[in-house]
Each structure stands twice: as C-alpha cells, then as structure tokens.
A and B are shown apart, each in its own frame.
Chain A
Amino acid sequence: MITHAAHEMASAMQAGEITSVELTQAHLDRISAVDSQVHAFLHVDTEGALSQAKSVDDARARGEKVGPLAGVPLALKDVMVQKGIPTTAGSKILEGWRPPYDATVVSKMKSAGIVILGKTNMDEFAMGSSTENSAYGPTHNPWDLTRIPGGSGGGSSASLAAFQAPLAIGTDTGGSIRQPAAVTGTVGVKPTYGGVSRYGLIAFSSSLDQAGPCARTVLDAALLHEVIAGHDIHDATSIDAPVPQVVQAARSGDVKGMKIGVVKELNGDGYQAGVRSRFEESLELLAKAGAEIVEVSCPNFEYALAAYYLIAPSECSSNLARFDAMRYGIRVGDEDGASAESVMNLTREVGFGREVKRRIILGTYALSSGYFDAYYGSAQKVRTLIMQDFNSAFGKADVLVSPTCPTTAFKIGEKANDPLAMYLNDIATIPVNMAGIGGMSLPCGLAPEDGLPVGFQVMAPAMQDQRMYSVGAALEASLLSQWGAPLLSQIPALAGAK
C-alpha cells in the first residue's frame, strides 16, 4: 500500500480496506527501515502521528464526514512550525526549539485529518539546491544514494521517492519545491504567491517564499493544494480570492485547444542532452493530446539569476536578524558580564552555517548605503523586466513550459565548494518566484545517459494555478500509458527494506 498514490490510500480507507492507524504504522515502519540510508527526516513524531490517525479512524467509525485526504500520512518540511514538535529549519541556531503554535498550513492539514509523520531535512533556512547545507547532514537521493535529492526541500522529495510518505509540504523561494521534485521523479507545485498562507513559515525571502504541495501524482498534489490554500488573516500578503479549481483541472487533464509556450531562453546550451530529449518528447505528447505548441521569448530571464542572488540575500539579511539569541533558539557566551551584543555575535557565528552567513553578508552589502542603487535597486528593476516578459509571453500562450532543471541529480559534494555552480541549478525555476506566479514540476522520464529523473516545468499566470494541473495531468496520463507504470516503479530497491 505504501507505493500507492495518496488518493488511492484515501479510497482504500473509505472502503474500509485499511485503517489510518495501519497505513500510518506502515509508513513509520518504512521510515525505520530505510531512513538510515536516505536521511529524509530530522524528527519522526511516532506518537503524534498514530494518535492523529486514530482520531481519523474514530471519526470515520462514528460515521462522520471526513475530508478527501483524511487519514493519509504526510511529511512536513522543517521550515514550517508545528506546535510542540522540534523545528529547526535545518539550522543549529534553532536546535531544540519547540514552537508554541501551528502554522496555518499545519492547522488546515490537521483539520482535514492529514496525519503528520514528522519533519523533513532541508538546506539551512531553505538556502540551497542540494540539502547539503543542512546543519544535520545531507539527505540522499533514493534513485542513487550518492546523489543529491535537490534542495532546499530534499527531505520532502526524498521521502516521497523512498515511499516514506505519499504527500509532503515544501516551500519554494527560487525552486526549492520544483527542483527537488525534478531530481527525484516526483511532483512539486509552487502555487501563486499569496495563494497559500506564509503564517508559521520561517521566513527566508518574504517577497519570494511560497509553500506548496509535493506528491507522487498530479491529482494528489491538487488534493493537497486545495487543503492548504486560501485566504488567511494572519498573513498580510495572502490573496483574498477563491482558490483556483485545481482538483477539477487535475481530474479532467484537458489540454485541447490550449496554447503551450516553450520558453526559448530556458533550454539549449547548458541543458543536459537527456533533459532536452525528454522535454521535447513531452511536448510531442502534449501536442498529440490536443495542445498547440508555440515558442515564446523572455529575453530578460538571463538576468533573473543575478537579480535573485541580490534580492533573496537582501531580504534574508533582514529576516534573519530575528535570530538574536534573546527570545528563542540557542544562546552562546552568556557569561557574567557578557554584553547582549557579544552574545548575539557569538551565537550567530556558532548557530549559522557557511551558506547562510555568505548570504547574510552579501545582502548586508547589497543594502548598504552607497551600493543600494547599484545592486538591490538594479535587481528590483530586473524584477520588473521579468514580469513584463511573463506578461507578454502569457499574451501568446496559456501556460509556459521548460525543463525544470538544466541537469539531473549531481553527486553529493560535487558542487559544495562552488557557490555559483550551485546557484545555476535554479536558472529555470527562479523567474517564477520573481513574478509571483505559479510553477509545477512533474516527472517526464529518465535521462538515457544516466538513468536519472528529468523534470518538466509548467508555469501559469497568477491565480490561474488550475492551468498547470490541466497540463500536468494530461502529460502524466500520456506518459503513464507509454510507460505502463509510474516512473517510480523503476526506482532501485533500498537495502534494508522489506
């Protein structure tokens, strides 16, 4: 049962074939069996998960109406706070912290009866593309344990691919949901900015951060999307409008007459051969399904990466000022006579990892007097140009598509000492965040040269998230009939698994 889709698990529970307690226990057993190799989890809440599962079973037994995902287990990225459960955002500075409240996404999932198994590993404060920047050690890609599972949400994506959970929550600032999905052969969706509440999401770059669903099928992602989305008075940037009809779109998967724009600049040089061939084949399948494929140009996208690495560090240098050793987190050097400032300086030195410090310093520089206009100011102007590129492209196409990442999963350690090479992983995902629109990655096959998963990205205008699900579902259905079984059925078995 653990290899099934979440909606199949939900149907089995509805039909009385399995209970949520049994299903949750099966996933906890799987985590015990394989997580020593994968390291997807930073914390497993065995008792809490089983007790949530029992409440769902009891409610069902009483004949109460429960939600479509009630009783299905989920893995929660450790950047999202859950009351009483250790939450670190992958950082030493928050080691041992137990939040006193639930994030809105968490309370919505609890109300929907979703069972939270535990917290997943991530790059520290979501800064990274490989999960190697976690203070608690890297996560391993279940397709090849010597490779990265993507980042920052590598724990969430790996937990799906390793069948430790059928659903997960990720957050995406520059690709942290979509890139891990791409390199693990799973589905990840970054909703429209403001579509899902950020309340209780530990902030990295507030104008870019967005939480979203991770799953093994497009329909499962849509079902989770509908649970977590919607207006929230606790988030001033939350959009007060109806949630797009994503489940309906995922169920129909209709792309007849839809115009699909291929972004010329997000393909070609620098993209691995197998990534390009799988992408091109997917375009053919979408054309066969009735879509019209057109080419669009977004000439300013080539500046998106540079602008991102000014905007995100600038916002993070401000957001991470809250880790001051005074109200929560660790405190270092608090000896007799030590000043608040020296305690703060020492705590931040010990508590933050290398990449986080690098970005704080870069952001501090970009925002400093004398350099502000040249760096942060110019980056904000590039943001305008990128939004204009999207507007003009969406005048010619209903959705835009590209490979999610230029390459398949690289080896752990391969890019650890080259920050710029690491940043290039996000070249195709970053424009979406800059414009605040929606983006999805779904698996479109294995690259012939290395046998590793390739991701297909779909981008839709703000609050038109349902369009990504229509395209995603159509492509998924075409690929499935070609393959005969889901891509993940080809994943090598993990040693130690039953």
Chain B
Amino acid sequence: MSTLSRSDVAHLARLARIDMTDPELDSLASELDVILEAVARVQEVATPDIVPTSHPLPLRNVTRPDVVVPSLSPEAALSGAPASEEQRFRVPQILGEEA
C-alpha cells in the first residue's frame, strides 16, 4: 500500500518549513510508507466509543498573581540571537517578499 507520494512529502516539507533536497524527498517517501503502515495499526482498536487522551494529567490553567517579577535582561534575552539591533531581534524581511 503506497500512501505517500514524493509530491506529498514535498508538500509536507513546505508546511514544516524544511527546504529538503530531492534525494531526501525520495528516501523519506519510501521510509514513511513503511512507518505509516506500521503505525496505522492503531486504527484496529480505536473504536468510536473510546474517549481520546491527550495528556496523562488533568490539565488546568495555571496563573500567578499579576505582579512584576525579575526577568531576563534585554542583553541576556538577546544573547543567543543570530542577529540583533537596538535591543531587538534582527530578522530577515517578512514583508514585500516576491511571490
């Protein structure tokens, strides 16, 4: 059963923002086919009456009092930035891109 074509994988790579090479797309397409066939076994027992579990704990929202507490300095927060300018992250252009 072939489920994923090379162009499907290329589409997924675009969604995941990874600029994959052609050989990578080829090998992933065949590997993912095998993996998907194996993991599709979950469908054998996942009947409609079962409530899905997303997390082992009952999650609730956790808040703290709305008061100012010490945090990272701008220098510390920017210390790992690939580029920064005037206490801000400098990023490549996000507007005016060519289509």
Chain A residues near B (Cβ < 8 Å): 97-101, 193-194, 207, 233, 236-237, 239, 300, 303, 306-307, 309-310, 317, 321, 324-331, 334, 337-346, 348-349, 352, 357-358, 360-362, 364-365, 368, 374-375, 377-385, 387, 419-420, 434-437, 462
Contact = CB atoms under 8 A, between A and B. Distances in A.
Given A360-B18, A435-B56, 5 more contacts: A340-B92, A342-B19, A375-B42, A377-B46, A379-B46
B45 A385 contact: yes
B15 A385 contact: no
B54 A207 contact: yes
A133 to B, nearest CB: 14
Given A378-B42, A384-B51, A462-B56, A361 B92 contact: no
Given A99-B80, A326-B91, A358 B72 contact: no
A141 B75 CA distance: 41
A382 B80 contact: no
Given A382-B45, A384-B51, A435-B56, A368 B15 contact: yes
B50 A357 contact: no
Contact of A340 (B36, B38, B91): B91
Given A233-B64, A341-B17, A384-B53, A329 B28 contact: no
Nearest to A349: B19
A329 B45 contact: no
Nearest to A378: B46
A327 to B, nearest CB: 6
A368 to B, nearest CB: 7
| Interface SS, A side | helix
Given A344-B17, A419-B31, A193 B56 contact: yes
Contacts of A345: 17-19
B94 A207 contact: no
Chain A CB within 10 A, most for which of B13, B19, B40: B19
A418 B34 CA distance: 10
Interface residues of B, number: 56
A346 to B, nearest CB: 5
> B13, B17, B19 — which one has the most chain A CB atoms within 10 A of its CB?
B17
A462 B31 CA distance: 36
Contacts of B36: 362, 365
Interface of B: 4, 8-9, 12-13, 15-21, 24, 28, 31-32, 34-36, 38-47, 50-57, 59, 61-62, 64, 72, 76-77, 79-83, 89, 91-94, 97-98
A329 to B, nearest CB: 7
B24 A357 contact: yes
Contacts of A434: 56
B34 A420 contact: yes
A317 B12 CA distance: 11
Contact of B89 (A326, A334, A374, A383): A326
A327 B81 CA distance: 5
A304 to B, nearest CB: 10
Given A334-B83, A341-B97, A380 B53 contact: yes
Contacts of B19: 342, 345-346, 348-349
Nearest to B52: A380
A361 B19 CA distance: 12
Nearest to A328: B80
A380 B45 CA distance: 11
A334 B57 contact: no
A343 B92 contact: yes
Contacts of B42: 303, 306-307, 310, 375, 378-379, 381-382
Contacts of B51: 381, 384
A365 B15 CA distance: 10
Contacts of A352: 18
B59 A237 contact: yes
A284 to B, nearest CB: 33
Contact of A384 (B50, B64, B91): B50
Nearest to B75: A100
B39 A349 contact: no
Query: Which 8 pairs between the two chains have the least Cβ-Cβ distance?
Result: A436-B56, A380-B52, A328-B80, A331-B82, A378-B46, A345-B19, A100-B76, A381-B46
Contacts of B24: 357
A115 B22 CA distance: 47
Contacts of A194: 56-57
Given A233-B64, A362-B32, A383 B17 contact: no
Given A339-B92, A341-B97, A357 B32 contact: no
A384 B16 contact: no
A374 B43 CA distance: 7
Contact of B50 (A233, A337, A358, A385): A385
Nearest to A207: B55
Contact of A327 (B13, B50, B89): B89
B82 A309 contact: no
Contacts of A98: 79-80
B80 A100 contact: yes
A383 B62 CA distance: 25
A420 B35 contact: yes
Contact of B94 (A317, A339, A368): A339
Contacts of B46: 377-379, 381-382
Contacts of B34: 419-420
